[in-house]
Amino acid sequence: MRKDEHSSEVGLSFGLTSAVVTTLGLIVGLNASTSSKPVVLGGIFVIAIADAFSDALGIHISEESEGVHTAKEVWISTISTFLSKFFFALTFAIPVLLVPSLLSLENAIIIDIIWGFILLAAFSYRMAIRTKENPSSVVFEHLLVALVVIISTYYIGNLIHSYFG
């Protein structure tokens, strides 16, 4: 793999994974605490912008701190992180935007969870094949982490709703 391809892969893998796990955690927690379409939708857009910039800066600083990448490689990782995080996070808004015309908010969240698991499983499978690892264990491991985040944020959202709702 060329260094430019490696830099793009770093950004894509970090951005996609962060978009899926962070956005799912946020929307599940916000829905559990508020059951509000504007709040959930606002959370998705905030994640798509603020967290995409934050993750891109984090990758930028991390790649620079290694001291082995050219400025071009660092910027490729930075930009690909931002674009992948921004794009994939925004895809979670689509089912929510269909509320109430076609879906309930709860069903939109379920569709988002399924979509997130499909994205994460497909990318994890692709990565495992490329790195010659066992695809089943890699996919299982990554989906398990996402599931822990979803369950945790659901209960945190319910707890917040119980005390402040």
Tell me the pLDDT tens digit for each residue of 7-33. Answer: 899 899 999 999 999 999 999 999 999
Q: Structure pTM?
A: 0.94
Phi, psi of 35 (to 5 degrees): 50, 35
Q: Per-residue pLDDT tens for 83-99?
A: 999 999 999 999 999 87
- Contact call for residues 134 and 128 (beta carbons, < 8 A): yes
pLDDT tens by residue, 26-79: 999 999 999 999 999 999 999 999 999 999 999 999 999 998 889 999 999 999
Give the model's pLDDT for residue 144.
Answer: 98
Dihedral pair phi/psi, residue 25, rounded to 5°:
-60, -45
Instruction: Report the alpha-carbon distance of residue 13 to residue 35 in Å, rounded.
Output: 31
Cα–Cα distance for residue pair 7/157, rounded to 1 Å: 36
pLDDT at 2 over 80: no
